[in-house]
Structure 1
């Protein structure tokens, strides 16, 4: 294997200095726009390697940015954003939350909030959206009962990471699948059986901690019809339908429900679709810019150097899987964003997976599992910061009750050790 060129990694270093440096200085890791940090890093990549003409380097950048998988990812991002916004706008989130709260036993309310967060995040495809929807409810419940605020908020943030890691419309799932060339349903099945024990054990722990405590929730109204688009999208995706068709049908179904019950008029529906797509512009352009920058870094020998560094002590397939897990975990610790971590680590993980015969569904699963596990434990990550802000508590105080992200990491390690999943028969 080529040893590569460590100097080619300078753009990565520039990105981390800009992103982390600004976070340390301001106390806000989201103060410096990440897209600007990537744009500057991309410019640094283009300025390197004086042996090549600038025009040639721009061509290389554009070839990487316009990669087939990247463009597919971008379109899926836009469709996922449109579906999520249309469904939310016609009341699907409120109906789902109210239905779930109505059927949860009063003595299992914290367990119920965790399960509700799991389902909503699986339906919406966003941990942040789930936290925004549920955290105020959790604060209200805690304020009227003896239930610990930090415990309630930790249950909600833990459940929100469940769908972030599994949902067919989650940006992390889309990124992991596309970067590894995996099938969405295959990756889902692998991930689901790994995280299910973590979810069950988390529910048992939360139930044991709150045993004997009860809380009253007033009767809440909901509509079955508004929940249907979420359920059908999950069913269609599991059935193996093309992700473009799944998301398009989801938009049509959610839009039809909204038009029928008066939530939308025709132009209002189209505006919501536009708003949903616009909400994904940043992550779409991030994917494009990162892919272009990585292609230039690869051309300059940076990826070869990282591959040599990451694999020089690897002696087996399991070692390679742990290498991918460590790579994406360190990247997420550095960027505090699991989608960006997968975007950066994905190409390198793909090279390692190909070299050691790791199936795409497994490498995609590892990327998503460990990035979400780390993300759910970062006190400077968006999820814990948002939840703590709503609750008026310190994000660090949530960590002692963050059972689910810890258990996801443990289950991911066990899956690697036992060789799950076994290789598909040809």
Structure 2
């Protein structure tokens, strides 16, 4: 039996519409997406969110906003941003980026560099369980590769984001994977198997597209690229630590200390220089941290005012068949992610209702968990106001909109998810049992 859902209030979604109108609209009209800063657009939309719902006092709504802004997921994300910013800047200051880029250029043909970046991104993210840490670690390296080869920066960043979302969706220690399996009552490894079969074609096609797209970019063969292996070690340490599943906070903190020690050892900077580098790296993430905090507050107000309930009620009212139920679950988590810009929150919000729908329409919990994770992750990797694209764009100093055309993997993940539902693949135990029951009848 389905849980009773409040009808909700569509007007509660107005702040999101205001943001999109300001940010995307101004960019389309002026041809420059830098004209309207994302932070300013969200501050204006938060003012509209506070103005809605006259039945509640302003003090109550401010408290709701503060609760959302101070959500544990938001604060953890801010800490990751701070550590990632410090690590990236210290590693760059001691020459790690230049050495890593030059080493890559010396070993791989230019047309395979971005393919390599995507694969490394997949390994790091699936091991760390965080797309944010992956983007922060690989962003500066990708930027350096783009500058050396002449490849579009947006293309390189698109490959990094794609690799980051691969692991965000599949990692055993990813918040999204844990949330999806817990809400559906299935094992992590079982969900992984079903999920992996669905997205594997997307990853393979992405590799082919990246290789084809970068085929025409070459580096002068006469140029000699110099590098110091010792300055590449912090990135290798992060990669190896990620592969062994080291906690992202320990990984980034250790990376800062390791890169700092190498910088001092090679006389690239002294202790004071290290401290300045850490400070500059943190300062570079200030705007992003503020943005995430404000987005958390706006989302909580949207939920408080009935926006999420409206979405839930609208989607569930359209479900009639098993296949329709699977598409409904996909649409449900997709819309919530578009509204919240947080795939973990989207899964946690949609999960309990999805479980009820899955039970009523005999959908395997592993398939349901995979649908929740795939569709929340693909959109999270594509929305220009999501933390992933904002972080990547900040590192590369490009507009998130510029990166959209190169987001091969998130788009292909979405397509594979749709096809998996439409065709009914992969077949699960629940599907086989149902088939046997039909044959017996």
- Secondary structure in structure 1 of the residue aligned to 2:146: helix
Conserved 8 A contact 2:94-2:263: yes
| TM-aligned CA distance change 1:212 to 1:6, over 3 Å | closer
- Partners in 2 of 1:73 and 1:299 — Cα distance? 22
CA deviation vs aligned residue, 1:303-323 (integer Å, no higher than 9, x gap): 111222234334656325522
Which residue of structure 1 aligns with residue 144 of structure 2? 133
364-373 vs 3-12, greater mean Cα deviation: 364-373
- Corresponding residue number in structure 2 for 1:322: 330
Q: Deviations over 1:340-376 (max 9, x none)?
A: x76366534431123224787874554333443576x
Q: Deviations over 1:183-211 (max 9, x none)?
A: 9xx79x78888766545444446667899
* 2:248 paired with 1:248: no
> What stretches of structure 1 of length at least 5 have no aligned partner?
140-148, 332-340, 390-394
C-alpha distance in 2 between matches for 1:277 and 1:420: 47
TM-score normalised by length of structure 1: 0.72
- The 5-angstrom pairing of residues 258-407 of structure 1 reads 258-314=263-319, 318-323=326-331, 326-327=334-335, 331=338, 343=341, 347-357=345-355, 363-364=372-373, 366-372=375-381, 406-407=411-412
Say if 2:333 and 2:346, in contact at 8 Å, map to a contact too.
no
1:125 counterpart SS class: helix
State the Cα distance separating 1:251 from its structure 2 match: 0.9
Question: Which residue in the other structure is 2:425 paired with?
Answer: 418
Q: Is the 8 A contact 1:63 1:292 kept in 2?
A: yes
Specify whether residues 242 and 383 from structure 1 end up closer, same or farther in structure 2 by C-alpha distance, changes over 3 A only: closer
Distance (Å, rounded) in 2 between the aligned partners of 1:84 and 1:259:
16
Alignment of 1:230-245 (within 5 A): 230-245=235-250
Of 2, 5, 17 in structure 1, the residue corresponding to residue 6 of structure 2 is 2
Instruction: Answer yes or no: is the 8 Å Cα contact 1:255–1:269 preserved in 2.
Output: yes
Change in 2 beyond 3 A, CA 1:199/1:102: farther
For residues 179 and 284 of structure 1, the distance between their equivalents in structure 2, rounded to whole angstroms, comes to 24
Q: Which residue of structure 2 aligns with residue 228 of structure 1?
A: 233
Q: Secondary structure at the match of 1:418?
A: coil
| Alignment CA distance shift 1:246-1:263 (3 Å) | same
- Matches of 2:428 and 2:140 in 1, distance apart? 31
Instruction: Indicate whether 1:100 and 2:104 are aligned.
Output: yes
Residues paired across the two proteins, number? 382
Hey, what's the Cα distance between the residues in 1 that align with 2:261 and 2:316? 52
Q: CA deviation at 1:252?
A: 0.9
C-alpha change, 1:195 and 1:30, in structure 2 (3 Å) is: farther
1:96 touches 1:120 (CA, 8 Å); kept in 2?
Answer: no
Contact kept? 1:90, 1:258, Cα under 8 Å: yes
SS of the residue 2:279 aligns to: helix
**Unpaired segments ≥5 residues, structure 2:** 125-132, 182-187, 356-364, 431-441
Query: Does the C-alpha gap of structure 1 residues 25 and 180 become closer, same or farther in structure 2, counting only changes over 3 Å?
Result: farther
* Equivalent pair of 1:198/1:404 in contact (CA under 8 Å): yes
**1:91 and 2:95 are equivalent in the alignment:** yes
Larger CA deviation: 305-314 vs 3-12: 305-314
Q: What is the aligned-residue RMSD (CA, Å)?
A: 4.4
The separation in 2 between residues aligned to 1:6 and 1:213, in whole angstroms, is: 48
Contact 1:6 1:305 in 2 (8 A): yes
Q: Structure 1 residue 47 and structure 2 residue 51: aligned?
A: yes
Which residue of structure 1 aligns with residue 162 of structure 2?
162
